[in-house]
Amino acid sequence: MKKLLLMALLMIFTTLSVTAREITFDFADGIYHIIIPHGKKIEFVSSQKLVTNAEIHKLFKATLTVNAGFFDPKNQKTISFIYNDGLLLESPIENENMVFNETIMDNWDKVGNRTEFRITSDNGILHYDIVPHNEPYKGKLIASAQAGPMLLPDLRLEEEFFIVKNKNGTVVRESASVLHKSARTLIGLKGKTVHIFIITTEHPMDIYEAQDLCKSYGLEKAMAFDGGSSTSVDFKDELHVTSTGTKTDDTGRRLKSFLIVK
């Protein structure tokens, strides 16, 4: 009898352990909330030519695929630093449309230091973080994807050159539609779990509303990935969401870099 009881308890514990390691998501009011438990291998991938989120999802046989960094649709080159397996995959310094843009170069200390989601390893222990690109890291860099702006603990719109104000405090320049309601892809941290919000066109938000959403879930750190028409997510064979398309064509926008979990 005791042996049967021990076997039953072991089966329950095993089931709970497996469940705890699964990616979960829910949907309410036009917003998908995805939770990635600690220990899942998060990777970033890029493509030489722009491709859809669904194509990358299928190519890598991923469980989860989400759009990541900014890119230039004119020359199909990155605007964000992307690393994976400790290697530099994409660098905005190789994008001539940025290098020869006088305004960008005059503000490179801000643009080049935009926020990134970072994975490091310290003595074999994985750490997730959301920090400015130039922030030093401990241990070994595993992967990172830059975009922005940072949402938590502080919103850094001017520091990351997403808005520029004149002497009177009036906004004279805006990037990534941060002040306008839009679809958005957000990523944040709470304890050891990674939280992703896919804010669809059913409930578009400006960046302040996006920050409030992250606060309402108790996130400690958060940032935005590329949003608007780039906002995309594929989960197993169960979920395919894009911010562009129609009922007859929902392939979505072609993108440059992606977060995947296999």
Burial class (CB in 10 A: 0-12, 13-18, 19+), 167: exposed
In a domain, 244, yes or no: yes
In a domain, 183, yes or no: yes
In a domain, 145, yes or no: yes
Give me the chain's average pLDDT, please: 91
pLDDT tens by residue, 20-56: 479 999 999 999 999 999 889 999 999 999 999 999 9
The torsion angles phi and psi of 19, rounded to 5 degrees, stand at -60, -40
> What are the structure tokens assigned to 209, written together?
């509303």
Q: How would residue 245 be classed by pLDDT, with cut points 50, 70 and 90?
A: low
Residue 8 has pLDDT above 80, yes or no: no
Alpha carbon distance 245, 229 (integer Å): 9
Alpha carbon distance 157, 163 (integer Å): 6
pLDDT of residue 39: 85
pLDDT tens by residue, 150-195: 999 999 999 999 999 999 999 999 999 999 999 999 999 999 999 9
Q: How would residue 13 be classed by pLDDT, with cut points 50, 70 and 90?
A: very low
In a domain, 129, yes or no: yes
DSSP string computed for the chain: -HHHHHHHHHHHHHHHHHHHTS-EEEEETTEEEEEE-TTS-EEEEEEEEEE-HHHHHHHTT-SEEEE-S-EETTTTEESS-EEETTEEEE-GGG-HHHHT-HHHHHTHHHHTT-EEEEEEEETTEEEEEEEETTS--SSEEEEEEE---EEES---TTTTTSEEE-TTS-EEEESTTTTS-B-EEEEEEETTEEEEEEE-TTS-B-HHHHHHHHHHTT-SEEEE-S-GGG-EEEETTTEEEESS--SS------EEEEEEE-
Cis ω before 153 (30° cut-off from 0): yes
Cis ω before 149 (30° cut-off from 0): yes
Parent domain of 131: 22-261
**Which residues lie closer than 8 Å to 36 by C-beta, 6 or more apart?**
23, 42, 64, 193, 194, 195, 196, 261
In a domain, 3, yes or no: no
- Residues counted in the chain: 262
pTM for the whole structure: 0.90
pLDDT tens by residue, 86-112: 999 999 999 999 999 999 999 999 999
The total domain count for the chain is 1
In a domain, 50, yes or no: yes
